[in-house]
Structure 1
Amino acid sequence: MRRAGLPGRSLLWRAVGGQRRDLALGAVLGMGHQTGEALVPVLIGLAVERGVVAADPGGLLRWLGVLAVVYAGLSFSFRCSARAGERASVTAAHRLRTELVARVLAPEGGAEDGRLPGELASTATEDARRVGAVTMALVAAIASATGLAVAAVVLLRTSLTLGLLVLLGTPLLLWLVHLLSKPLERRSETEQDRAARASGVAADLVAGLRVLKGIGAEPAAVARYRRTSQESLAATLRATRAGAWQNGVVTLLTGAFLALVALVGGRLTARGDITLGELVSSVALALFLIGPLSEFSWVNAELAQGRASAARIAEVLGAGRAVPPGPPAGGSPPRPVRGGLRLRGLTYGSLRGVDLDVAPGETVGVVTADPADASALLRCLGRHADPEGGTVALDGTELPALSLAEVRAAILVAEHDADLFEGTLLDNVTAAAGAATAARVTAAITASRTDEVVRALPDGTATAVTARGRSLSGGQRQRVALARALAADAPVLVLHEPTTAVDAVTEAGIAAGIRDVRAGRTTVLVTNSPALLAVTDRVVLVEGGRVTATGTHARLVHDRAAYRTAVLT
């Protein structure tokens, strides 16, 4: 269940506040740039007064020299201001991405529930970028406001009428621009939601491409993505139209305002209230105002998109945790971890009051008539979820009393659909092995029959593996993932259907390899494979969410019809 623990606006300003230094530097330098830009029309007017009206070449050259110095200063200020603003933007986005990745990968989980991987990737990239861009927008807003203020002061000194017109008209214009940004913000949020959804569906389909081709479901998959993509396109077009409409109206309002300023200035000049140089400065200032006022339109659009993205990020960061993080001090199981498991009255999902004891060093098979029972058991053993009722204990200590790090170090749950990572085959095998010896890694590769895969690859264990192991076949990926789990040498290893993609001969060899390499270590095989169940010390049959039978594989095959149905059909 999701909950928004961090309001979007709060997160937005927290991200901006974290860049105070660069934001302040960029704003100050931007103010210097805009002040220089506003003074340029004034200096041009003075040059006209000295060179044309007063016919003073020396004065003309002097003011032209001052104008050149101002141009050099405003150019330097702009360059450094843009650099500081961009640095603040990129840093803020990076910190948000880091925070999002940490939340998604947090041991207690919960952030990924109900979200496709592609959706989370879109949030961590595009949404984080848009929130970071708000810092650059604020630098531009402060600089533009300064330019408007300087222009207003100059106009007030030139003519009270012109100054008041700018001072009163500008806030009204900005208020209208703010109102116009509201529809854009709403449509931008919808656009980002639909785009993230489309990315998630695309990533999901690519991940299952082999399966889709195998069952001939490509047309259905294409139709699904086409619908999602069209929804995203429609939302993007609506947001684009809203942005274009906003920019067009803002341009129209700005042009009307500037025309009014020029008209009033011209009438004042005609009456002799201002000089020719002041008229030139006034008209040039009116033209200058186009820049800052247009900048505010862009700033409002960036703020609208930033607020929408911040709300999406806040939803992920504030997502409810799947399990509590554990005691503050971080409890530890007795050392060394012997690997005894005790389940009492375990109730979760489809499980109803499961009682099970696994002695240290024992290999136990768990057969489930309903795949949902297997999934529920795996989530509780790996503490990806806490039971709704009952307890799970490791060496006599209940899992919630231990820190999550200790639980995950002691109990390794190897899921059936475990992913491989980009890197070499050896990198994938040793990813969870820590300081494993070469002998242990070799034993894990041999036990999982990954040595056959190694011999078939051009560079052996140094062969590059693409993301998610797509460069390998399904059986090769499964064996490499099993080798990784075995190489970790966890005190308790829970394997879920580790041999569904291999042939019967290879499966029998893997079963013997697991038995040998895990000798003396607690192993739970959640599987319906006869070959794997045959090497266990005993097997537990779960039906209707409860343990209904316990015994050796051979005994249960002989005595229980439900067991035969589960493992032999």
Structure 2
Amino acid sequence: MGAVLGCVHQLGEALVPVLIGVVVDQAVAGRDAGRLALWLAVLAVLYVCLSWSFRLGARIGERGAEEAAHTLRLALVRRVLDPRGGAEDDRLAGELANVATEDAKRVGAVNMALMSGVWAVAGLAVSAVVLLLTSVPLGLIVLVGTPVLLWLGHLLSKPLERRSEAEQDRAAGAAGVAADLVAGLRVLKGLGAQQAAVERYRRTSRVSLAATLRAARAESWQTGLVLALTGVFIALIAWVGGRLALEGSLSLGQLVTAVGLALFLLGPLETFAWVNADLAQGRASAARIARVLAAGPAVVGGDEPVPAGVRGELRLRGVRIGGLDGVDLDVPAGRLTGIAVTDPACAEALLGCLGREVDPESGSVELDGVPLTRLAPAELRAAVLVAAHDAALFEGSLAANVRPAQGTADGGPDPRTARAMAAADADEVARSLPHGAATQVGEGGRSLSGGQRQRVLLARALRAEPPVLVVHDPTTAVDAVTEARIAQGLREIRQGRTTVVVTNSPALLAVTDRVVFLDGGRVGAEGTHGELARTHATYRTAVLA
């Protein structure tokens, strides 16, 4: 519809110089006031039609561009949030955000560019027909010269396409680095590494700036050359029209029409230059979007629903991935199991397997005797909740981070939320804040200390009440007294449900029913914390030293 209305607008624009030529020949030259008034009225009606068709057509076109960009953003978000993962591999969060915003916007703008291209073609076609009817030589110049100009414009857009893709790659990289640095700002300050971080971003930003300048230069050269060629083309039409008028082949009104159409052609030809540039940038952005959408999943298969009534028994057989080297491990249902490691890579690999973020290179992981590879990832993660050490808090209140749609009919916290917060000692955090649990924690929980964030994250995991809960180092930033309270609260609230604590914390391991010690990627020992601390020197060094 936008293209149709735009064609009506271009038809009206092309007819304006034609009507002015008619006015000159039939009214001005003949000094006929009646005809002058008639043709001026026709011209006024024409202007009303062409202005409204442009307004409505442009509105429809812009809406199409915005809806296309929005559709792409939704597709990208769905791919990034796909339970099978894979889209975020080798990409920073800021880079993905850049693809979903700037690249989606540029590809959506292709809709407007294509529609404008149709308008320009319609304007050129009408102008060529009118010029052929007015003068065959002028019409042939337009018909032959326009395809040549379009071909040259396409060739000139190739460098812009290449440099635009490089520009977006560098800009996305800079955005990713910036997002990483902001997320880790508190850690950087603690390490005194702010200056090194600033230098890193400065280098990345300079590379991005250089790519942007190269793309801008390519665009300016492309636009300038196309406009220069267009100007030569228009001058040629005006020169031929003037010669024909001097020879008597054209009347004064026809000369006015020819020159007016030549000037009108500047619009469609400039539009073609803009369309070529937009298509070049759109193709570059489309390639980046396509790479994200086409990224292979991190885990494959798994469509079965999780069986009802999950008991929570976990079993690993010959699991080999990352730091794990053929691990055989049984986690009994309804028990609190501690897992201590000598290598942090073992902990990361184990968490990835239990949460099915990755599948083992060999071996199997089972839940109640069912291999995880057979279960739908989203349902599995609802049954086996892996609370990572570096999980994020979201913009909003402390209460909303523990439980979305927080509260009861009287506005207070529900009993289960209160129990979870008490178990994680997050109720003490709420009491220390100005507005209690209603206090806004800021993006990433930046208004909280490291220990406060850990307690809120643990409360959120406990409030979810999954059949199987796996927590990783939930107390590394709290003091010993608070850690002891949390350890006891964790044991009490998870009584009778399967819980795995991956940590080297003596306070947490002391309240577990059983500890599995992974040494060198294999199970090195099993027993209670007290037994292992007395009898196993390597365990004692890893946990107590």
Task: State the TM-score, normalized to the length of structure 1.
Answer: 0.94
Aligned equivalents of 1:59, 1:478: Cα separation in 2: 85
Match of 2:485 in 1: 509
Corresponding position: 1:356 with 2:329: yes
> Given the alignment, which residue of 425, 429, 433 partners 1:449?
425
Corresponding position: 1:90 with 2:66: yes
1:261-300 CA distance string (max 9 Å, x none) = 0000000000000100000010011000111100111101
Aligned equivalents of 1:325, 1:87: Cα separation in 2: 39
Q: What letter matches 1:472 in structure 2? A: L
Match of 2:371 in 1: 398
1:137-189 CA distance string (max 9 Å, x none) = 01110001100110000000000000000000010011000100000000000
Query: Contact 2:469–2:498 at 8 Å: present in 1 too?
Result: yes
> Given the alignment, which residue of 233, 251, 254 partners 2:230?
254
Aligned equivalents of 2:3, 2:288: Cα separation in 1: 28
Aligned equivalents of 1:295, 1:434: Cα separation in 2: 57
1:53-88 CA distance string (max 9 Å, x none) = 122111111111111000000000000001100010
Match of 1:118 in 2: 94
Match of 1:9 in 2: none
Match of 2:382 in 1: 409
Match of 2:281 in 1: 305
Aligned equivalents of 1:133, 1:237: Cα separation in 2: 22
Q: What letter matches 1:397 in structure 2? A: V
- How far the C-alpha of 1:448 sits from its partner, in A, is 0.4
Aligned equivalents of 1:342, 1:65: Cα separation in 2: 87
Match of 1:7 in 2: none
Aligned equivalents of 1:210, 1:105: Cα separation in 2: 27
After TM superposition, the runs of 4+ consecutive aligned structure 1 residues lying more than 6 A away are 432-435
- How far the C-alpha of 1:325 sits from its partner, in A, is 4.6
1:355-407 CA distance string (max 9 Å, x none) = 11111111111011000000000000001111111111111111111111221
Corresponding position: 1:233 with 2:209: yes
Match of 2:197 in 1: 221
1:419-461 CA distance string (max 9 Å, x none) = 00111111110149999x9221111100100011000011111
> Given the alignment, which residue of 300, 303, 310 partners 1:337?
310
* Residue identity (%): 65
- How far the C-alpha of 1:316 sits from its partner, in A, is 0.4
Q: What letter matches 2:447 in structure 1? A: S
Unaligned runs of 5+ in 2: none
Q: What letter matches 1:481 in structure 2? A: L
Q: 1:321-332, aligned counterparts within 5 Å? A: 321-327=297-303, 330-332=304-306
> Given the alignment, which residue of 343, 349, 361 partners 1:388?
361
Q: What letter matches 1:527 in structure 2? A: T
C-alpha change, 1:105 and 1:434, in structure 2 (3 Å) is: farther
Corresponding position: 1:482 with 2:455: no
Query: Contact 1:42–1:281 at 8 Å: present in 2 too?
Result: yes
SS in 2 for 1:367: strand
Match of 1:263 in 2: 239
1:284-322 CA distance string (max 9 Å, x none) = 110001111001111011100110001000000100100
SS in 2 for 1:423: coil
1:508-549 CA distance string (max 9 Å, x none) = 110001001000011100001000000001111111110010
Aligned equivalents of 1:150, 1:225: Cα separation in 2: 54
- How far the C-alpha of 1:241 sits from its partner, in A, is 0.4
Q: What letter matches 1:227 in structure 2? A: R
Aligned equivalents of 2:77, 2:379: Cα separation in 1: 21
Aligned equivalents of 2:348, 2:124: Cα separation in 1: 63
SS in 2 for 1:345: strand
Aligned equivalents of 2:246, 2:451: Cα separation in 1: 89
> Given the alignment, which residue of 336, 352, 372 partners 1:379?
352
Aligned equivalents of 1:158, 1:150: Cα separation in 2: 12
Query: Contact 2:301–2:374 at 8 Å: present in 1 too?
Result: no
Query: Contact 1:431–1:484 at 8 Å: present in 2 too?
Result: no
Match of 2:77 in 1: 101
> Given the alignment, which residue of 129, 132, 151 partners 1:175?
151
Unaligned runs of 5+ in 1: 1-24
Deviation larger for 164-173 or 392-401: 392-401
Match of 2:10 in 1: 34
C-alpha change, 1:432 and 1:313, in structure 2 (3 Å) is: farther
Match of 1:438 in 2: 414
- How far the C-alpha of 1:347 sits from its partner, in A, is 1.1
Corresponding position: 1:72 with 2:45: no
Q: What letter matches 1:388 in structure 2? A: E
1:207-266 CA distance string (max 9 Å, x none) = 000000111101110110000000000000000000001111111100001000000000
Query: Contact 1:433–1:487 at 8 Å: present in 2 too?
Result: no
Q: What letter matches 2:199 in structure 1? A: A
C-alpha change, 1:494 and 1:470, in structure 2 (3 Å) is: same
1:99-158 CA distance string (max 9 Å, x none) = 100110111001001100000000000000000000000111000110011000000000
Match of 2:123 in 1: 147
Match of 1:536 in 2: 512
Aligned equivalents of 1:216, 1:358: Cα separation in 2: 41
Aligned equivalents of 1:466, 1:331: Cα separation in 2: 36
